[in-house]
Amino acid sequence: MSRIVSFIPQYVCGLACAVYLFTLGIVSGRNRGLIARICRHFGFFRQRELAPPPDSRALELPQAAIGDIGPADEPIRILEPIGRGGNVALEEIVAIARLLKAHAPKTVFEIGTFDGRTTLNMAANLPEDAQVYTLDLPRDQAASAAFDISDADAAFVEKDVSGARFLNTPYAARIQQLYGDSATFDFSPWEGAVDFVFVDGAHTYEYVMSDTERALKLLRGGRGVIVWHDYDKRTGQDVPAALHELRERRPEFADIRHIFGTSLVFKVF
């Protein structure tokens, strides 16, 4: 009985928030994302069937061609060309490698390692003295993650080893594996010291927004490149809505670009 009594303040607060959420609150994309998750919690509108929010259909990011994002005559190296579910597509590896050639970052930070295929390819296309840091959520921390982890994301959290594809390669020396939840991980040692960030961790609205804020703080003197994966209305969960909202509301994201033929979006700061 005492547990019920002590829950009453949370009940009243939750009720007030729910009234706001379903009335004035729907103007915010973040709140619409929360309503969509409530539906999923009760078994409705599973991820694949979830219609994109109206603003995702109305807005499209401006595009850039793969041919225009990197130097024309710089060779790139492709390792582990055969991908699997959870990896980026081969043309996305090409696009990332071309961006790396164009910007020659000294320090790269990836959010979302999975099997390390992109990590490996980034390391292989960087100057020899560059360093790649890659952060992954260990499966025993998924249940305590700061925000909801969708079923689609949970499938890629579930694995024995993070970064299996770069372990025991000559590039492993340039890569440091980090572990934690990107929403609560202590990024402070890398803040202001990173030139290129690849955001490909969890794909719910809260994580894309939180990871983007972290990425911005990582950039060296506010300059560098941020790349997001899964700008795809069918499979990218909340990534399109989150990126559209950033472009709509934040002047610094006005010239964010979708790389044509891929689900990559990038912004040079």
Ligand X SMILES: C[S@@+](CC[C@H](N)C(=O)[O-])C[C@H]1O[C@@H](n2cnc3c(N)ncnc32)[C@H](O)[C@@H]1O
Q: Binding of ligand X at residue 169 (CB under 6 A)?
A: no
Q: Binding of ligand X at residue 214 (CB under 6 A)?
A: no
Q: Binding of ligand X at residue 215 (CB under 6 A)?
A: no
CA–CA dist 203, 230 (Å, integer)? 8
Q: Binding of ligand X at residue 262 (CB under 6 A)?
A: no
Beta strand extents in the chain (DSSP E only): 63-64, 107-111, 131-136, 175-179, 196-199, 225-228, 257-259, 265-268
Smallest separation (angstroms) from ligand X to the CB of 85: 9
Q: Binding of ligand X at residue 157 (CB under 6 A)?
A: yes
Q: Binding of ligand X at residue 137 (CB under 6 A)?
A: yes
- Helix or strand run (H / E) with residue 120: helix 117-124
Answer for which of 80, 148, 181, 195 binds ligand X (CB under 6 A) is 181
Q: Binding of ligand X at residue 202 (CB under 6 A)?
A: yes
CA–CA dist 150, 237 (Å, integer)? 9
* Pairing relationship of beta strands 63-64 and 107-111 according to DSSP bridges: unpaired
Stretch that binds ligand X, among 1-9, 14-22, 31-39, 200-208 (CB under 6 A): 200-208
Smallest separation (angstroms) from ligand X to the CB of 18: 26
Nearer to ligand X, 94 or 137 (CB): 137
DSSP letter at 141 equals G
CA–CA dist 224, 168 (Å, integer)? 29
Residues that bind ligand X (CB under 6 A): 86-88, 111-114, 117-118, 135-137, 145, 149, 153, 156-157, 181-183, 200-202, 207
